[in-house]
């Protein structure tokens, strides 16, 4: 990757894994469970996840087709969310490479309006779309079928 390795193994300068930051932000904002999609070097990423105190509400999901790009991770998350019993009304989507994400940001998106199966909204920073994106259950199948390669939900959300 352009990054030089799997982002799931990246750390802050103080050694805190980016994964811990993302999981903590989602969990502290009330998201449960937190689905954590891993792909490249999945065994190493799973080992990191297993050492984090933030992972009490985490469910590890493997994107075996991770080499297909970001779309593979998004599809894996959507499938895993749909398989939950009961499936959630909506899914907050955050890539691991948002290392400054905090619970307040996640909460603002979650609380920006009512959440229902047709919900589709995302954070905006300085006029630009960002993360998290909140994607209602009605959008999961069409979104999963529309993404390809290293493309996330950006086009779908536009």
Q: Percent helix, strand and coil across the chain, each rounded to 5?
A: 40, 20, 40
Q: Model pTM?
A: 0.90
Q: Does residue 2 have a pLDDT over 70? A: no
Q: Report helix angle 18-28 to 103-110, nearest 10.
A: 40
What is the rounded CA–CA span in Å between residue 154 and residue 136?
15
Instruction: Encode pLDDT of 138-157 as tens digits.
Output: 999 999 999 999 888 989 99
Mean pLDDT of 65-91: 95
Mean pLDDT of 63-84: 95
What is the rounded CA–CA span in Å between residue 118 and residue 137?
7
Binned at pLDDT 50, 70 and 90, residue 4 comes out as low
Q: Which residues contact 143 (CB under 8 A, 6 or more apart)?
A: 74, 78, 135, 153, 156
Residue bearing tokens 């030089």: 4
What is the rounded CA–CA span in Å between residue 105 and residue 46?
26
CATH number among 2.60.40.1180, 2.40.10.340, 3.90.550.10, 3.90.1570.10, domain 7-157: 3.90.550.10
Provide the pLDDT for residue 11.
84
């Amino acid at each position: 990757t352009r990054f030089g390795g799997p982002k799931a193994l990246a750390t802050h300068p103080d050694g805190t894994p980016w994964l811990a930051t993302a999981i903590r932000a989602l969990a502290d904002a009330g998201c449960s469970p937190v689905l954590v999609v891993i792909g490249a070097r999945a065994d190493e990423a799973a080992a990191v996840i297993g050492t984090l105190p933030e992972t009490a509400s985490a469910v590890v999901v493997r994107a075996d087709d991770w080499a297909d790009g970001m779309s593979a991770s998004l599809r894996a998350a959507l499938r895993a969310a749909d398989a939950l019993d009961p499936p959630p009304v909506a899914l907050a989507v955050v890539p691991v490479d948002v290392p400054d994400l905090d619970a307040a940001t996640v909460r603002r998106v979650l609380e920006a309006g009512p959440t229902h199966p047709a919900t589709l909204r995302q954070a905006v920073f300085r006029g630009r779309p960002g993360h998290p994106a909140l994607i209602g259950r009605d959008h999961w199948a069409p979104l999963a079928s529309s993404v390809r390669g290293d493309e996330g939900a950006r086009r779908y959300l536009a």
